[in-house]
C-alpha cells in the first residue's frame, strides 16, 4: 500500500527514539500495564498509559501509582489530565521521577466526567488556560511533552490548528489529533482531511487518530492528513495486536504472537486475565478484567451461549473463569474471527 512504508521507520520525539510510527492510544481503564506490554510485544511503536488525573496523582490517591509505574518497556509514556497548573506540574514531576520518558497532556477526552471538571477536550474552549497548563508541565520536567487533542469543541470552534501552533511555541514536541470534535464523541466518521490543517501549521510531528484499525485505513489516513504517524484506539478492544499488525505490515513482516487457533486464543485471553489479577489483586482485578473478557467474547466468540458468557463475566472464581473460557473457545471450536483485526 502506497505511503504505508513510512510507518515502519523510526520517529524522534524530542530526542526519544521510537521504533516505528504506529502507536497505541491512551484509553482510560484499558491501556494498563498488561495491555501495554501485549501491544508492545506485538510490535506497536509506542504505547501510552491510561489517563492519570494529575490532581489525584499529586495528592497520592491510591491506584495512581499503578498507572504511572514503569513497566520495563523501552519508552515509558504517561498521559496526564487536569485543570490546575500546579497539579499538572506536580503530576508531571512525579511521573518523570517514576521513569516517564515522555509526558502527554490530555486535551481530547470527551467524557462528561472529565469535561465536566473543565479538563480533557473542555480545555479547547479556553486556549489561554490550556497554554498555562502546557507551560506548567514543560517548565516542570526535562523530558519531552506532547499534547493529544480533538479538532475542537464543536463545529463552530475548530481550533486544533491554533492550539497546536501555540503548543509548539510553548515547547511541545509532538501533537496527536483525533479527527472529531468533542461534541461528536465517537459518532460519524473521523475527518482525516481536517488533520492536514494541523500538520501544515506546525513543524513538530503530528499523529493522526480516529477510526484506524487496519493497514488500509492507516495508509488512507496518512494520505489524507499528511501526518507523521498514526494512533490506534478502540480497534484494540478484544484485539491488543492491532497496532502491531499495522506496524509489521508496513515493514513487510509478520506480527508476533497473534492467536490463530482456539487453543492459542484461550491461552492468550487466560494469560491477559491472570496478569490483570496479579496487577490489581483478585477483588479489583476481577472487576477490571470483565470488560476485556467481554470484548474478547464479542470479537472471537459471538456464538457462545448466554449462560456461558454470563458465567465468564460474573464469576468470582478465577479458576472457573479460565475453565469457562476454554469451553467457550476450544470445546465450542469458536475459530471464526481470530484474524478479524490482524
Contact criterion met (CB below 8 Å) for 171 and 49: no
Please tell me what DSSP assigns to residue 45.
Answer: S
Identify whether 109 is a catalytic site residue.
yes
Please tell me what DSSP assigns to residue 168.
Answer: H
Give the 3-state secondary structure of residue 11. Answer: strand
Q: Which of 308, 280, 282 is nearest to 293 (CA)?
A: 308
CA separation (Å) from 136 to 20, 61, 70? Answer: 29, 21, 23
CA 87/CA 208 separation, integer angstroms: 28
CA 247/CA 215 separation, integer angstroms: 8
Catalytic-role residue among 7, 39, 57, 109: 109
Residues 6+ apart with CB under 8 A from 168: 175, 202, 203, 204
| Burial class of residue 113 (count of CB atoms within 10 Å of its CB; 0-12, 13-18, 19+) | exposed
Contact criterion met (CB below 8 Å) for 302 and 55: no
What spatial distance separates the first Cα and last Cα of the chain, rounded to whole Å? 16
The residues that are catalytic are: 109
Amino acid at each position: 500500500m502506497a505511503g504505508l512504508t513510512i510507518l515502519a521507520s523510526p520517529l524522534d520525539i524530542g530526542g526519544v527514539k521510537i521504533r516505528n510510527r504506529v502507536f497505541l492510544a491512551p484509553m482510560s481503564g484499558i491501556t494498563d500495564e498488561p495491555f501495554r506490554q501485549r501491544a508492545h510485544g506485538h510490535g506497536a511503536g509506542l504505547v501510552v498509559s491510561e489517563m492519570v488525573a494529575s490532581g489525584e496523582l499529586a495528592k497520592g490517591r491510591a491506584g495512581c501509582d499503578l498507572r504511572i509505574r514503569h513497566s520495563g518497556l523501552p519508552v515509558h509514556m504517561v498521559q496526564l489530565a487536569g485543570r490546575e497548573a500546579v497539579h499538572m506540574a506536580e503530576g508531571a514531576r512525579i511521573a518523570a521521577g517514576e521513569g516517564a520518558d515522555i509526558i502527554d497532556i490530555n486535551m481530547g477526552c470527551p467524557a462528561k466526567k472529565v469535561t465536566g471538571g473543565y479538563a480533557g477536550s473542555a480545555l479547547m474552549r479556553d486556549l489561554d488556560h490550556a497554554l498555562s497548563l502546557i507551560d506548567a508541565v514543560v517548565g516542570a520536567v526535562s523530558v519531552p511533552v506532547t499534547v493529544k487533542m480533538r479538532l475542537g469543541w464543536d463545529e463552530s470552534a475548530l481550533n486544533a490548528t491554533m492550539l497546536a501552533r501555540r503548543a509548539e511555541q510553548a515547547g511541545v514536541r509532538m501533537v496527536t489529533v483525533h479527527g472529531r470534535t468533542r461534541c461528536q464523541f465517537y459518532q460519524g466518521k473521523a475527518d482525516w482531511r481536517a488533520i492536514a490543517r494541523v500538520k501544515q501549521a506546525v513543524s513538530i510531528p503530528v499523529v493522526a487518530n480516529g477510526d484506524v484499525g487496519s493497514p488500509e485505513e492507516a495508509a488512507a489516513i496518512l494520505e489524507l492528513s499528511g501526518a507523521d504517524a498514526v494512533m490506534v484506539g478502540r480497534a484494540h478492544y478484544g484485539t491488543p495486536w492491532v497496532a502491531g499488525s499495522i506496524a509489521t505490515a508496513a515493514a513487510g513482516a509478520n506480527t508476533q504472537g497473534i492467536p490463530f487457533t482456539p487453543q492459542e486464543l484461550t491461552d492468550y485471553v487466560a494469560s491477559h486475565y491472570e496478569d490483570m489479577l496479579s496487577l490489581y489483586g483478585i477483588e479489583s482485578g476481577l472487576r477490571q478484567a470483565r470488560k476485556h473478557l467481554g470484548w474478547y467474547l464479542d470479537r472471537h466468540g459471538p456464538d457462545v451461549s448466554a449462560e456461558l458468557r454470563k458465567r465468564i463475566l460474573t464469576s468470582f472464581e478465577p479458576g472457573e473463569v479460565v475453565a469457562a473460557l476454554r469451553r467457550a473457545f476450544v470445546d465450542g471450536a469458536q475459530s471464526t474471527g481470530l484474524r478479524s483485526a490482524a
